[in-house]
Amino acid sequence: MDEKVDVLDEHGEKTGRVVWKSEAHREGLWHRCFHCWIFSPETESGGPYLFVQRRASGKETWPDRLDVTVGGHLGAEEEPLDGLREVEEELGLKVTPDELTSLGTRKAELQIPAGLDREFQDVFLLARSFVPDDLRLQEEEVAAVVSLRLADVEALCGGTAVRAEEWADGERRAIDISLADFVPAEDVYLLRVAGAARAILAGGLPESIF
């Protein structure tokens, strides 16, 4: 779905220009997005876990690839926490701002079929335990949620395939995943998020990771 977004300069400041998202992608214009990573602090059955989403097969960019747990564009005049609506829209989970830990802002550029996607991504981390029946996936956006052992992230980013669990339609199934299953350039990002989750589990607060 197309929407109006604020055009930013290379430092993340608003230029005063507003364009359609599709135009921003076509022209390679900087714009702002919301990212929320969710991890479960539960230690049962090999946890804690980091959750990622499998993008819907009908998505224009990176269909069927694994990606941040929840992500979405911020519309014109929106602030970072306005992106919280994406968590409920995509996964059916209600989250309040005080549950989030800010991890900073990631600057990312990625070639896509429609052009060049240049984003300033406001990144947040949420500690939340849930089961497949708690999810209400937005069919046109999310095909499944994948539960990945936090302890396996380093091996995954090092190029090793790891075992994970895919949740869809209230059911679970074991799968093997590798970096090739992710949206490109996710390896360092995954490592940084996993490190932030470990800091929280150790009773601390992570610093900005970007």
The DSSP line for 57-120 is TT-SSSTT-EE-SEEEEPPTT--GGGGGHHHHHHH-----GGGEEEEEEEEEEEEETTEEEEEE
pLDDT band at 202 (very low <50, low <70, confident <90, very high): very high
Q: What is the pLDDT of residue 208?
A: 83
pLDDT band at 75 (very low <50, low <70, confident <90, very high): very high
**Residue 77: burial class (beta carbons within 10 Å; 0-12, 13-18, 19+):** exposed
pLDDT band at 80 (very low <50, low <70, confident <90, very high): very high
Q: Span 4-33, mean pLDDT?
A: 98
Question: Domains in the chain, start-ordered, CATH in brackets?
Answer: 4-201 (3.90.79.10)
Q: What is the pLDDT of residue 187?
A: 81
Element containing residue 25 per DSSP (H, E): helix 21-27
